[in-house]
C-alpha cells in the first residue's frame, strides 16, 4: 500500500465556466443546504464548496451563478470568495499541495520540505506545474501541530512528513 | 432627551444619538473616517476614540450611543495618543502624493493629520501599492486610486445601503484588501459619483472634475439641481466665472446627502452660453446683435400687441419668474400661456430617512407653475398650441421642453413672428425675429418648488455672463415698457417678487426668505397643491 | 487521572455510536432532559467549567446571558474552527469520540433553549467534518437528534457548517458572520451574541472541548468536575497540545493545573535531542511567550495569567535553545498579518508593519528606532484599540518577545547594514480590467 490516498480534483477549464448552470443533482444538494438555514444568504459558503467540489475552482461565471441562485449581488459573492483562502479563483492542478508554514511545523522542519518540493517540482508557492498535476501552496497552521510537519493534499492530511515520505507521496499522486 | 457632558459642556440630545453627533451639537468636532451620518455605523477606522468616565477603555464615539449623565472627554491625553496612533497607522501605507492628488484641500487625511497626527514618521519600509489600480476608471465617472484607500468602506456601504446596487465590495482581506467591482464590471449605477463624495480621501475621485481646479480656489454656492422635479439640494462649485462641479448639499427631506449622476453632470451646461447679446432680425439672413433697448422695444411693439402673444413659459423658471409671467401675460395682457412639461426619464433619490423620492417630470419647477395657476401642457399639446397660428409667439425659455429644441419645432413656427429668451441657440431661436440672452441657473436667484411640494432657494453665484439677464429681470423690464403695474417696490429684487407672490398665491402663504436658512425647504400649503 | 475526554483513544471503532453507548454515552442526555434547563445551567456553572476556546469565560455564566423569555429562536454554535497555531485538541476529540461532542451540544442546546445548533468547523478539517456528519446521521437514526428526541418533546437539529480558510472565523462574531454568508469580519460589541447573535437571535458560542466536558458534568455532577484541577476557578480535565521541540508531541489529557514542567518533560518526553528549553508559548500562538525559567508554573487559567501570559487554548509550543527568537516572531507575525480581517486600522496596518520591521531586522537591515516602533505598534493595536482581540493576539507576542528576548533583536540591529535602495513590491492583484480599464 502506498502512502497516497488522495483522489485528484476535477478541474474544469476556464472556457467551460464562463456561463454555468446547476444540474439536477446539484439542485437537489442546494435544496438540502437551503433547508438548514433560515436565510438564503447563509447557504453561500456551502454552495461555494459544492461548486468547488464539482469544478475544482470558482470562476467569475460560477460566482455569478451562485449570486443569482441565492439572490445576492455578484460583488458580494466575490468579496466572500476572496476573503477565504481555500476557495481557488484560478484553475489549480489536480493535487493541491498545501504546506503548513507556521511555527510548530517550522520547528519540525517544514522549510526542508518546502525546498525539497520546490526543487523536485520546479515551481514556487502559488504556482502550478506545467503538466497541471500539482499546485504548491504555503498555508497557515493546519491544526495538527502535534504531528508536524503537516502537508494537506486536497482534503487529506499527511503528517510527520520527511523528504523520503514526500517522494513516496508524490509518486502515488497520479 | 438625555443630558451628556462633553468636555465640560452640557448638551441635550435625543436618546440613541451617538457621541459624534452629540459632540457636534455641543460644538465639538470628533474626527471620523468610516462614520458617515447617512450610512450604517461600522466602527472600523478607530479614529473617533473618546474617553467616557467610568469605562475602562476608550470607546469609539461613532458606535457609542449617549446615556443620560454620561461624561465624555474628547481631548484627554489618552484620546490624543490613540488618535495620533491611528493617524500613524493610516499614513504608514498612504502614498502621501498630496501634490498630485485631486482630493487635496478637502481630504480628511490631510485635515486630521494636521490636527491630530504626529510630526515625525517611523516608517522606513515599502509602502503598500496596488499595481494596476493606481489610476483606473472603474465606471463612467469614477476614478480609483487604491493606493490612497484607507479601507473605511463608506463607498461599499453607499452602494449597498443607498443605491441598493451593491456594485462595490472589499476583495481579499487584511492589509492587501481592496475595493473592486465584480469581475471588471463598471460602477455605473445612476448615483455612482456619490462614492467619490463619501470617500474621505483621494481614492475615489470624479473623472469630470479631476484636475479642473484646486478646491481651495472654488467658491461654492448653495443651489438646487434642475435636472428633474425632485430638486436635490446642491452646492455649485465655481472659480473665475467657470462652473466646475455640482455636489449634493444635505437636505434630509429631499436628497439626504446624495444626488444622481444625471444632475451632477449638468454642471458643464452652465458654461455653455452661446447667446450672449440681444439679437434682432432686420431683414433676411442672420439676426444681428443689438442693444437691450432695441430688442425690448421689438418685444413691446411686435410681440405684445393685439391681445398679447401666445406665451410658452417654462417649468425651468423660478417661482418668481413664473409669477411675473402669470401677472404680465395671463392676468394683465390676457394672453394664452402654456407651460410645457416633459415627463423625462424617471429618477429617484434617497432621502435621509432611507425613503426613495421619485421624480414626476424633468423640470425643477413644474409644481411652482401649477401652484401659480398656469396651464401645464405636454409635448403634443405644445405642438398644437404653436401650430395653431394667430398672434406672435413669445418663448420665455427656449429650453423649456426637449421638443422645443428640435428642427420640427422650428418648422412648426416658421412664418410666424417669434421672440425668444435663451441662453443656448436652438433651431427655433435661429429663425426667431428677436432673441434675448438669459442668465444661467447659477447667475440667477430665486425659489423653486419640488414635486414633493417643498420650496427651496437657489442663490446667485456668478454675475450674468455677456449681456445676459435673469428672466425675472427681463420680465420686469418688459412690464415697465408695457406699462403693467406689478405693484413691486423698486429696485425689484427676487426677494421682493417672492414676498409679493407669497401674498398672492395661496400655496406659498406665510413663507419668508429667512426660513430658507433654517428649514430643509418650506412645504407648500397642501390643500391648494392641486390648483389648476 | 484516568482520561475522560480522550478515554476511548486508541480503541477500535471509538467513533461509532455503539461504542459510545457501550461506554455509557447519552446517559447524561437522558438525565439532562428530565432536569429543568435552569438546573442544567446551574450545574454547569457550579462545576466551574471555563471556556476552552481561549478566553476562559465560565460556560454556565455565558448560558445564563441568553434571554429566557424571548420568542425568537435561539442558537447554539459549536466552535470547531481550531485555527490558533499550536492548537490541535478539538480535532483529537472529534477523531476519538464525536458523539461526546454531539451529546454536549444537545445538552447545551437544551439548557439555553435552542432547537438548532451549528458546528462551525474549519474548512481544512474535511475528514473531521465527514466524521461529524456520519455521527449526526447515526444519532438521528437512534433518535438522539431530530424531532421530539427520546420522546421528551425537545427538538434539536445539528448542522455542520464548513469554514473556508480564515483564522478570524474562530472569533465568535466573525464566525456568526461567516455562517450568515458574509466575509468573516468580527462585529462591534455590544450587542453580544447571547442577545443578538446568529441571524439576529440569541446565540451561545462554545468551543468543542468546552462542550465535550458537559455530558461528564451532568453525569458525575458539578462537584466531581470541580474537584479535578486546582480549584473551582480552574477545574476539570484539560487537553494540552504539545508541539515543537519535544520528543513526543501530541495531546495530553491532564488535570487542570498540571505544571508545564510535568507536561513537557514527563508526558511529552522532554526536549528533543536532549537540548535545553529556551522558551514556550503556553496556550496557542497569541499568548505571550514565556522563558524557560517559568516552566514550573501550573498550566491553569489564573496561574498563567499571573505569570503574564494566558492559558488560551492550551496549545503549548516548545522552543529549544537553538531557536532564533527574531525568526520565531517573524513567523508568528506572518501568520497574524495573513489572518487580520482588515477592518480595523490598527490591526490591518499594524500587523503588516510589524512584520515588515521584524523581517527587515532579520534580513540584517534593522534600525535603532525599530524596537521603539514595534513597542508603539504593540501598545496601539491592543487593549480595545481594535474591534476584536486579534489585535491583542499579535501584540502579545511582540511585547513578550521584546520583553524576554530583547537582546536577540538588539544583536541583529547592532550587526545591521544600511538599508538597500528601495524597490517597489509587486502585489498579486488583478489588474486586467473590462471595458473601462486604463
Ligand atoms: C482571533 C480569535 C480566534 C479565535 N479562534 C478560536 C478557535 O479557533 N476556536 C475556538 O474555540 N475559539 C476561538 N476563539 C474564541 C472565540 O471567540 C470564543 O471565545 C470561543 O469560541 C467561546 O467558546 P468557549 O467559551 O467555550 O471557550 C477565537 C477568538 C479570537 C479573538
Ligand atoms: S482586530 Fe483585526 S481581525 Fe479583529 S476585527 Fe479588527 S481588523 Fe479584524
Ligand atoms: S503549525 Fe503546522 S499544523 Fe499547526
Ligand atoms: S469614525 Fe468611529 S470608528 Fe471610524
A141 and C83 in contact by Cβ < 8 A? Answer: yes
At B298-344, the pLDDT tens digits run: 999 888 876 678 999 999 999 999 999 999 999 999 999 999 999 99
Q: Choose from A86, A146, A152, A161 for mutation: most chain C CBs within 10 A.
A: A146
What span, in angstroms and rounded, lies between the C-alpha atoms of B435 and B294? 11
What span, in angstroms and rounded, lies between the C-alpha atoms of C186 and C340? 10
Q: Residue C437's pLDDT band (boundaries 50, 70, 90)? A: very low
Query: Under CATH, domain A14-83 is a member of which superfamily?
Result: NADH-quinone oxidoreductase subunit E (1.10.10.1590)
Kindly report the CATH number assigned to the domain that includes residue B447: 3.40.50.740
A107 and C245 in contact by Cβ < 8 A? Answer: yes
A73 and B166 in contact by Cβ < 8 A? Answer: yes
Chain A positions touching B159 (Cβ under 8 A) are 75
What span, in angstroms and rounded, lies between the C-alpha atoms of A70 and A18? 18
B30, B58, B91: which is the final residue of a domain?
B91
What span, in angstroms and rounded, lies between the C-alpha atoms of B385 and B383? 5
Q: Which chains touch A (3 or more CB pairs under 8 A)?
A: B, C
What span, in angstroms and rounded, lies between the C-alpha atoms of C59 and B417? 91
Return the closest-CA partner of residue B393 out of B293, B304, B262: B304
Nearest CB among B86, B130, B136 relative to C345 is that of B86
Distance B1 CA to ligand 1 centre (A): 39
pLDDT score recorded for residue C423: 57
Average pLDDT over every residue of C98-119: 98
Domain that holds residue B14: 2-91
Distance B188 CA to ligand 4 centre (A): 28
A83 and B173 in contact by Cβ < 8 A? Answer: yes
C431 and B122 in contact by Cβ < 8 A? Answer: no
Class of domain C17-226: alpha beta
By three-state DSSP, how is residue B376 classified? strand
Helix, strand, coil shares of chain C as percentages rounded to 5?
45, 15, 40
* Total number of domains in chain B: 2
For residue C162, give every residue at least 6 positions away whose Cβ sits within 8 Å of its Cβ, in sequence order, or none.
A45, A46, A49, C121, C122, C123, C125, C126, C129
- Quickly list H helices, A5-150: 24-34, 44-55, 60-70, 74-83, 103-107, 110-121
pLDDT score recorded for residue B307: 64
Average pLDDT over every residue of C28-49: 96
Whether residue C303 has pLDDT greater than 70: yes
At C47-84, the pLDDT tens digits run: 999 999 999 999 999 999 999 888 999 999 999 999 99
Reported pTM: 0.94
Q: Choose from B144, B164, B166 for mutation: most chain A CBs within 10 A.
A: B166
Chain A positions touching B164 (Cβ under 8 A) are none
Q: For C140, phi and psi rounded to 5 degrees? A: -65, -45
B166 and A76 in contact by Cβ < 8 A? Answer: yes
Sheet holding C203-207, edge to edge: C146-149, C154-162, C116-121, C75-80, C203-207
pLDDT score recorded for residue C418: 75
Which segments of chain A belong to CATH 1.10.10.1590?
14-83
Q: Which chains touch C (3 or more CB pairs under 8 A)?
A: A, B
Q: Find out if CATH 3.10.20.600 is the number for domain C237-320.
A: yes
Chain A positions touching C127 (Cβ under 8 A) are 155-157
Q: Which chains touch B (3 or more CB pairs under 8 A)?
A: A, C
B241 located within any domain: no
B496 located within any domain: yes
- Compute the Cα dihedral for C317, C323, C325, C328 and give only its sign: negative
Chain length of chain C: 438
Which segments of chain A belong to CATH 3.40.30.10?
95-173
User: Is B181 in the A-facing interface, judged by CB distances under 8 Å?
Assistant: yes
Q: CA nearest C434 in B: which residue?
A: B184
pLDDT score recorded for residue B452: 92
At B141-193, the pLDDT tens digits run: 999 999 999 999 999 999 999 999 999 999 999 999 999 999 999 999 999 99
Is residue B311 within 8 A of residue B337, CB to CB? The reply is: yes
Whether residue A122 has pLDDT greater than 50: yes
User: Is B165 in the A-facing interface, judged by CB distances under 8 Å?
Assistant: yes
Return the closest-CA partner of residue B516 out of B230, B238, B249, B264: B249
Chain A positions touching C250 (Cβ under 8 A) are 146-147
Return the closest-CA partner of residue B130 out of B169, B160, B172, B167: B172
B262 located within any domain: no
DSSP B218: -
What span, in angstroms and rounded, lies between the C-alpha atoms of C299 and C279? 15
The CATH-assigned architecture of domain A95-173 is 3-Layer(aba) Sandwich (3.40)
At C376-422, the pLDDT tens digits run: 999 999 988 999 999 999 999 999 999 999 999 999 999 988 766 65
A78 and B167 in contact by Cβ < 8 A? Answer: no
Distance B245 CA to ligand 3 centre (A): 56
Element (H, E) at B325: helix B319-325
Question: How far is the CA of A28 from the CAs of A31, A34, A146, A147, B15, in angstroms?
Answer: 5, 10, 39, 38, 49
Whether residue A146 has pLDDT greater than 60: yes
What span, in angstroms and rounded, lies between the C-alpha atoms of B41 and B20? 11
Nearest chain C Cα distance for residue A156, angstroms? 7
CATH entry, C325-414, from 3.40.50.300, 1.20.1440.230, 3.40.50.12780, 1.10.1240.10: 1.20.1440.230
B166 located within any domain: no
Kindly report the CATH number assigned to the domain that includes residue B48: 3.10.20.740
pLDDT score recorded for residue B105: 83
Which residue positions in chain B have pLDDT lower than 50? 528-532
Is residue B182 within 8 A of residue A75, CB to CB? The reply is: yes
Average pLDDT over every residue of C270-280: 96
C419 and B124 in contact by Cβ < 8 A? Answer: yes
Percent of chain C scored above 70 by pLDDT? 95
Taking the domains of chain C in order of start, what are their residue ranges?
17-226, 237-320, 325-414
Return the closest-CA partner of residue B377 out of B356, B389, B361: B361
Q: CA nearest B179 in A: which residue?
A: A79
Residues with CB under 6 A from ligand 3: A 100, 102-105, 141-145, 148, 150; C 85
Amino acid at each position: 500500500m502506498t502512502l497516497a490516498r488522495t483522489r485528484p480534483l476535477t478541474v474544469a477549464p476556464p472556457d467551460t465556466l464562463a456561463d454555468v448552470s446547476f444540474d439536477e443533482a446539484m439542485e437537489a444538494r442546494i435544496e438540502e443546504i437551503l433547508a438548514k438555514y433560515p436565510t438564503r444568504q447563509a447557504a453561500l459558503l456551502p454552495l461555494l464548496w459544492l461548486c468547488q467540489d464539482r469544478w475544482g475552482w470558482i470562476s467569475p461565471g460560477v460566482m455569478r451563478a451562485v449570486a443569482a441562485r441565492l439572490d445576492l449581488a455578484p460583488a458580494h459573492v466575490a468579496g466572500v470568495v476572496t476573503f477565504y483562502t481555500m476557495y481557488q479563483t484560478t484553475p489549480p492542478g489536480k493535487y493541491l499541495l498545501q504546506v503548513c508554514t507556521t511555527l510548530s511545523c517550522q520547528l519540525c522542519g517544514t522549510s526542508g520540505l518546502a525546498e525539497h518540493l520546490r526543487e523536485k517540482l520546479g515551481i514556487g508557492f502559488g504556482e502550478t506545474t506545467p503538466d497541471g498535476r500539482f499546485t504548491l501552496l504555503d498555508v497557515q497552521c493546519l491544526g495538527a501541530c502535534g504531528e508536524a510537519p503537516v502537508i494537506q493534499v486536497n482534503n487529506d492530511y499527511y503528517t510527520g512528513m520527511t523528504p523520503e515520505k514526500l517522494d513516496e507521496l508524490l509518486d502515488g499522486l497520479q | 432627551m438625555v443630558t451628556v457632558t462633553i468636555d465640560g459642556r452640557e448638551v441635550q440630545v435625543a436618546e440613541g444619538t451617538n457621541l459624534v453627533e452629540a459632540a457636534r451639537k455641543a460644538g465639538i468636532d470628533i474626527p471620523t473616517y468610516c462614520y458617515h451620518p447617512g450610512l450604517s455605523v461600522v466602527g472600523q477606522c478607530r479614529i473617533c476614540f473618546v474617553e467616557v468616565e467610568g469605562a475602562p477603555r476608550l470607546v469609539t464615539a461613532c458606535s457609542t450611543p449617549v446615556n443620560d449623565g454620561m461624561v465624555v472627554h474628547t481631548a484627554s491625553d489618552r484620546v490624543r495618543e490613540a488618535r495620533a496612533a491611528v493617524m500613524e497607522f493610516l499614513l504608514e501605507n498612504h502614498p502621501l502624493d498630496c501634490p498630485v492628488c485631486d482630493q487635496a484641500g478637502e481630504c480628511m487625511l490631510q485635515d486630521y493629520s494636521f490636527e491630530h497626527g504626529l510630526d515625525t514618521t517611523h516608517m522606513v519600509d515599502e509602502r503598500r501599492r496596488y499595481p494596476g489600480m493606481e489610476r483606473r476608471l472603474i465606471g463612467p465617472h469614477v476614478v480609483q486610486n487604491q493606493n490612497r484607500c484607507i479601507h473605511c468602506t463608506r463607498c461599499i456601504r453607499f452602494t449597498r445601503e443607498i443605491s441598493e446596487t451593491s456594485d462595490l465590495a472589499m476583495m481579499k482581506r487584511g492589509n492587501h484588501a481592496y475595493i473592486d467591482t465584480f469581475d471588471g464590471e463598471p460602477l455605473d449605477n445612476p448615483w455612482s459619483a456619490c462614492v467619490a463624495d463619501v470617500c474621505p480621501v483621494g481614492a475615489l475621485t470624479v473623472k469630470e472634475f479631476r484636475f479642473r481646479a484646486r478646491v481651495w480656489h472654488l467658491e461654492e454656492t448653495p443651489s438646487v439641481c434642475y435636472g428633474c422635479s425632485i430638486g436635490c439640494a446642491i452646492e455649485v462649485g465655481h472659480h473665475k466665472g467657470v462652473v466646475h462641479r455640482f455636489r449634493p448639499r444635505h437636505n434630509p427631506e429631499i436628497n439626504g446627502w446624495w444626488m444622481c449622476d444625471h444632475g451632477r453632470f449638468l454642471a458643464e451646461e452652465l458654461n455653455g452660453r452661446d447667446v450672449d447679446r440681444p439679437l434682432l432680425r432686420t431683414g433676411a439672413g442672420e439676426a444681428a446683435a443689438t442693444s437691450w433697448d432695441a430688442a425690448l422695444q421689438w418685444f413691446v411693439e411686435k410681440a405684445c400687441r393685439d391681445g398679447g402673444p401666445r406665451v410658452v413659459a417654462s417649468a425651468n423658471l423660478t417661482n418668481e419668474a413664473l409669477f411675473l409671467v402669470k401677472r404680465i401675460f395671463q392676468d394683465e395682457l390676457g394672453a394664452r400661456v402654456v407651460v410645457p412639461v416633459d415627463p423625462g426619464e424617471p429618477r429617484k433619490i434617497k432621502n435621509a430617512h432611507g425613503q426613495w423620492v421619485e421624480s414626476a417630470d424633468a423640470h425643477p419647477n413644474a409644481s411652482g407653475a401649477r401652484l401659480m395657476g398656469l396651464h401645464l401642457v405636454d409635448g403634443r399639446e405644445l405642438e398644437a398650441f404653436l401650430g395653431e397660428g394667430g398672434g406672435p409667439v413669445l418663448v420665455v425659455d427656449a429650453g423649456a421642453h426637449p421638443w422645443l429644441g428640435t428642427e420640427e419645432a422650428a418648422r412648426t413656427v416658421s412664418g410666424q413672428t417669434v421672440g425668444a429668451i435663451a441662453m443656448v441657440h436652438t433651431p427655433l431661436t435661429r429663425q426667431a425675429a428677436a432673441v434675448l440672452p438669459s442668465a444661467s441657473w447659477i447667475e440667477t436667484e430665486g425659489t423653486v418648488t419640488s414635486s414633493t411640494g417643498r420650496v427651496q432657494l437657489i442663490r446667485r453665484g456668478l454675475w450674468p455672463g455677456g449681456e445676459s439677464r435673469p428672466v425675472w429681470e427681463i420680465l420686469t423690464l418688459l412690464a415697465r415698457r408695457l406699462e403693467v403695474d406689478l405693484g413691486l417696490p423698486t429696485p425689484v429684487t427676487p426677494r421682493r417678487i417672492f414676498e409679493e407672490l407669497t401674498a398672492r398665491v395661496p400655496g406659498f402663504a406665510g413663507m419668508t426668505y429667512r426660513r430658507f436658512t433654517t428649514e430643509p425647504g418650506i412645504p407648500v400649503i397642501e390643500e391648494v397643491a392641486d390648483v389648476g | 487521572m484516568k482520561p475522560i475526554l480522550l478515554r476511548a483513544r486508541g480503541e477500535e471503532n471509538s467513533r461509532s455510536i455503539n461504542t459510545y453507548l457501550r461506554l455509557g454515552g447519552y446517559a447524561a442526555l437522558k438525565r439532562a432532559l428530565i432536569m429543568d434547563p435552569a438546573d442544567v445551567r446551574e450545574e454547569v456553572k457550579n462545576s466551574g467549567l471555563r471556556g476552552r476556546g481561549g478566553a476562559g469565560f465560565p460556560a454556565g455564566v455565558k448560558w445564563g446571558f441568553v434571554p429566557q423569555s424571548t420568542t425568537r429562536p435561539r442558537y447554539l454554535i459549536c466552535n470547531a474552527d481550531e485555527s490558533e497555531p499550536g492548537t490541535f485538541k478539538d480535532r483529537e476529540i472529534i477523531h476519538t469520540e464525536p458523539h461526546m461532542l454531539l451529546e454536549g451540544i444537545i445538552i447545551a442546546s437544551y439548557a439555553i433553549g435552542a432547537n438548532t445548533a451549528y458546528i462551525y468547523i474549519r474548512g481544512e478539517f474535511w475528514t473531521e467534518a465527514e466524521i461529524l456528519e456520519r455521527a449526526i446521521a447515526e444519532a438521528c437514526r437512534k433518535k438522539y437528534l431530530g424531532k421530539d428526541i427520546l420522546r421528551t418533546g425537545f427538538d434539536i437539529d445539528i448542522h455542520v457548517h464548513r469554514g473556508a480558510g480564515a483564522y478570524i472565523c474562530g472569533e465568535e462574531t466573525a464566525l456568526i458572520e461567516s455562517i450568515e454568508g458574509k466575509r468573516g469580519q468580527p462585529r462591534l460589541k455590544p450587542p453580544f451574541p447571547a442577545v443578538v447573535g446568529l441571524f439576529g437571535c440569541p446565540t451561545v458560542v462554545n468551543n468543542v472541548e468546552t462542550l465535550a466536558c458537559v455530558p461528564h458534568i451532568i453525569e458525575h455532577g458539578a462537584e466531581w468536575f470541580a474537584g479535578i484541577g486546582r480549584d473551582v476557578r480552574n477545574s476539570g480535565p484539560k487537553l494540552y497540545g504539545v508541539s515543537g521541540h519535544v520528543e513526543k508531541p501530541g495531546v495530553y489529557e491532564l488535570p487542570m493545573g498540571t505544571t508545564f514542567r510535568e507536561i513537557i518533560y514527563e508526558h511529552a518526553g522532554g526536549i528533543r535531542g536532549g537540548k535545553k528549553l529556551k522558551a514556550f508559548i503556553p496556550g496557542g500562538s497569541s499568548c505571550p511567550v514565556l522563558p524557560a525559567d517559568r516552566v514550573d508554573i501550573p498550566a491553569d487559567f489564573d496561574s498563567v495569567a499571573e505569570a503574564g501570559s494566558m492559558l488560551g487554548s492550551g496549545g503549548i509550543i516548545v522552543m529549544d535553545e537553538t531557536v532564533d527568537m527574531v525568526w520565531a516572531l517573524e513567523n508568528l507575525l506572518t501568520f497574524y498579518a495573513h489572518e487580520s480581517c482588515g477592518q480595523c486600522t490598527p490591526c490591518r496596518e499594524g500587523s503588516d508593519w510589524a512584520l515588515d520591521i521584524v523581517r527587515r531586522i532579520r534580513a540584517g537591515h534593522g534600525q535603532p528606532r525599530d524596537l521603539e516602533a514595534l513597542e508603539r505598534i504593540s501598545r496601539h493595536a491592543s487593549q480595545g484599540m481594535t474591534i476584536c482581540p486579534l489585535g491583542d493576539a499579535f501584540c502579545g507576542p511582540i511585547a513578550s518577545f521584546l520583553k524576554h528576548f530583547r537582546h536577540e533583536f538588539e544583536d541583529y540591529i547592532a550587526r545591521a547594514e544600511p538599508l538597500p535602495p528601495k524597490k517597489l513590491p509587486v502585489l498579486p492583484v488583478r489588474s486586467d480590467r473590462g471595458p473601462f480599464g486604463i
